[in-house]
Structure 1
Amino acid sequence: MSVSRADERRVLSHEQFELVGQSHHPAIYGIDAKSLQSLQTQLRNERDKVRTQVRQKLREGRGKSEARGKSFPGNTEQPLKRKQALANALKRVNKELERVRKLEARSAHVLEARTAHVDAARRALELLRNAKFHPTQMTDKTPKAGMAAQPSTKRRRIIPGSQIGSVSQATKNAQAKRDNRGKS
C-alpha cells in the first residue's frame, strides 16, 4: 500500500524524511549510481531498525518479552506505517538502480552493435567494389603488335532474332486454334 508524502512527513523523523525525500520523483533522477547505492544502504538500515522495533513491540503486546530500552513511541500502528514508508522508498531506489544498470548495459550493447554494423557495412562495400572490377588476362596480348581489341569483361547474352517474339506468337497461335475448334 502506498503512503502519501503527508503521511510520511507525519510518521517519519526529520532525518528519515530527508532520506525518503531523495527517493521521490524529481529528486531521484538527479542522483548518480554510487549515490543511489549509498541511499539504498541507508534506507535498508533504517527500515531494518524500524522492523526490529515493530517486532519487539508486537512481542511485548503478546506478552512474549519484556519492554526493551526506554519508551517506545506510540502503539504498533505508527511504526508499521514508518516501516511501510521506508520500504516503499527502498523499492523506488531499487527500481531506479535497475533502470540505470539496464540503461548502461543497453548503451554498451548498442555501441558494440553499432561498431559491428559499421564493420560489416565496410566489408560489404569493399566486396561490392572488388566485384565490379574483373582481372584482365595478360596472356592474350603480345607486346609490340600494335593496337589490339580489348576483350569485354561483361557477360554477353546472345539471343537469336528468330527467338525474339516467338513465345508471344506461339501463345497467339495456340489461342487461335482453341477458338477455331468448334467452327469447322
Structure 2
Amino acid sequence: MSASCRFEASILKHDELEIVLSTHHPSIGELTRDKLETLRSRLRDLSEKERTFARHRQREARGKAEPRGGSFSGTAEHATRRKQVFVAAIKRISKEIKRLQKFEAKKELGEAARRALALRRAKQFARPPNDFGSSEGMRSIPSRRRNFRIPPSKIGRVSQANKRAQARRDAR
C-alpha cells in the first residue's frame, strides 16, 4: 500500500522529506540518471538505518537487548513505517532508472537500424563500372575429389544379395 505525501510529511524529518518528495512524479522526471543513482544510494542508507533501529526496538521489546541511546524515540512500528516510506521511494527511483534504460536502448537500436539501412542502400545501388573489353572469363578450379570408377557388374550387387537371402528365408 502506498503512503500519501501527507503521511510521509508527518513521519519524516524535514531533510528526509525533501529527499523523498524528489522521488515523486513531477520532480523525478527532471532528474538525470546520475542524480537518480546517488539518490537511490542515499535512500538505501536511510532505509538500512531505519531497519536497524526497528530491529533493535523489537529486541528491546522482547527483553533481549539493552535500550540504546536517549535520542531515539518511538516504537519499532514507527521505525518500520519510516523504512517502508524509504523503500517505496527506492522502488519509484528504480522504476524511473529502468524506464530511462529502456528509452536509451530503444534510441540506440533506432540509430543502429538507420545506420544499417544507409549501408544497405549504399551497397544496393552501387553498380560495377561498365568497361567494354575482353576478359579471360572464369577460371577453372580442378576438383580435388578422387574419381572412382565402379564396374557395371558391381552396381546393384548388395541389393541383389539381400533379395536372394530374403527368398531363401521365405522358402523355408
Equivalent residue runs for 1:168-179 within 5 Å: none
Letter in 1 for 2:52: T
- For residues 71 and 46 of structure 1, the distance between their equivalents in structure 2, rounded to whole angstroms, comes to 17
Please state how far the C-alpha of 1:36 moved relative to its aligned partner.
0.7
Aligned to 2:59: 59
State how many pairs are aligned: 135
The code of the aligned residue for 2:67 comes to A
| 1:77 to 2:77 alignment | yes
Corresponding residue number in structure 1 for 2:92: 92
Distance apart, 1:113 and its partner CA: 1.7
Tell me how far apart the structure 2 counterparts of residues 134 and 39 of structure 1 sit (CA, whole Å): 64
CA distance in 2, matches of 1:87, 1:101: 21
Residue-by-residue CA offset, 1:16-43 (whole Å, 9 max, x unaligned): 1100001000100000011111111111
How far did 1:134 drift?
7.0
Within-5 A mapping of 1:27-176: 27-127=27-127
Compute the displacement of 1:137 (Å).
Answer: 6.0
1:38-90, Cα deviation, whole Å (9 max, x unpaired): 11111111111111100100111111111111143222222111111100000
CA distance in 1, matches of 2:52, 2:67: 13
Gaps of 5+ in 2: 135-172
Which residue identity does 1:43 align to in structure 2?
L
TM-score, normalization: structure 1?
Answer: 0.67
Q: Which runs of 5+ in 1 are unaligned?
A: 139-184
